[in-house]
Amino acid sequence: MTTPSDPHQELREGVRALCEHFPLEYFRKIDAERGYPQEFVAALTHSGWLAALIPQDYGGSGLGLTEASVIMEEINRSGGNSGVCHGQMYNMGTLLRHGSDAQKRAYLPRIASGELRLQSMGVTEPTAGSDTTKIKTFAERRGDRYIVNGQKVWISRIFHSDLMILLARTTPLAEVRKRSEGMSTFIVDLREAIGHGLTVRPIANMVNHETNELFFENLEVPAENLIGEEGKGFRYILDGLNAERALIAAECIGDGRWFIDKVTKYANDRIVFERPIGKNQGVQFPIARAHINIEAASLMRFEACRLFDNRQPCGAQANMAKLLASEASWEAANVCLQFHGGFGFASEYDVERKFRETRLYQVAPISTNMILAYTAEHVLGLPRSF
């Protein structure tokens, strides 16, 4: 729902204008082929939308997470899927806020221009899951290099990225005072790493989302690629994770608005028993409730982004925004599919594709139950449950 008073109206119209060149048929074909929308991502890059968070001094737009969230939202509302490129947005937090001047000069201008892509973040491991402090991938300092050994899983866009932000232990868990200590972040040049200490195994999955399992075997990473101080990487990565939650919330809001737009038009146009089905309260009320929940989630999204942009703590708000938005988009998806009836299962209507895509976000990048546990402990002061 946008009005002339919407402060982001001009931004929305700019993103929509680009998306109009990539109609639903384009994304439907990419999904059917399990392909990657290379032309779409290139257009976003060349138009400057994926450089929104990069400061103007480095060739970007110098915008905030608030504006970045609107960009992601509009891509999804237009029928696309920001999951093919959103990593370039939220990965900026770690590099922008904690990278050295030399690292920023080396990478940011080339990311802004499209010469390089920073689409991947290597955090999750098969035995640690959401308990990031239990990761086992280890980076050992040897002279001017770190030697990395370990394994990561569910790492996205490896084959469509040049760089990856990697979180690894540099001090064994048993030797640190706090579990969150002893982890470090690195910039990994994937062009040099793959086949030279890094092996990638794709994971087939329910949606067309390129994700992989990574195996590190004596991968050499230059010491100059360490971001910030050794051992403080977990704190650095949190900036990226909070941005990720807020952006995923925005994408879910975009999905939810796409579903509401789609089902509202269909309910007005579909005539059964000589009346539009949208005239029935049994159809109206679920659509209206889904719309209300999307709008409420959008407000929490903007609050999380406001806090992030002002460098204020935003973990609770980012997590709550992600939970509210993912559940609201799933509610809207179910409503849209239900009232399309059999046509909702037909690929040509695009409902089933978007249905699958938005379902992901109750599981990833953090599950609903983990957000509830976080809120119970850190917001309400209840005893830690795990």
Catalytic hit among 244, 251, 331, 357: 244
Count Cβ neighbours within 10 Å for each residue of 259-275 and write b for 16 or more, e otherwise: bbebbbebbeebeeeee
Residue pair 126/119 in contact by the 8 Å Cβ criterion = no
Q: Which two tokens stand for residue 306?
A: 């406001």
If you count them, how many residues does the chain have?
Answer: 386
Classified as helix, coil or strand, 34 is: coil
Residue 217 annotated in active site: no
Residue identified by tokens 């060149």 is: 21
Residue pair 156/124 in contact by the 8 Å Cβ criterion = no
The single-letter code of the amino acid at 321 is A
Using alpha carbons, list the distances in angstroms from residue 371 to 111, 324, 381. 32, 10, 14
Q: Helix crossing, 233-269 with 315-340: angle to 10°? A: 30
Classified as helix, coil or strand, 258 is: helix
End-to-end distance of the chain based on CA atoms, in angstroms?
Answer: 40
The string of DSSP letters for 269-298 reads H-EETTEEGGGSHHHHHHHHHHHHHHHHHH
Question: How crowded is residue 101: how many other Cβ atoms within 10 Å of its Cβ?
Answer: 7
Pairing of strands 211-222, 198-202: antiparallel
Q: Please work out, in degrees rounded to the nearest 5, the angle formed at the alpha carbon of residue 257 by the alpha carbons of 252 and 261.
A: 150
Classified as helix, coil or strand, 197 is: coil
Provide the annotated active-site residues.
244
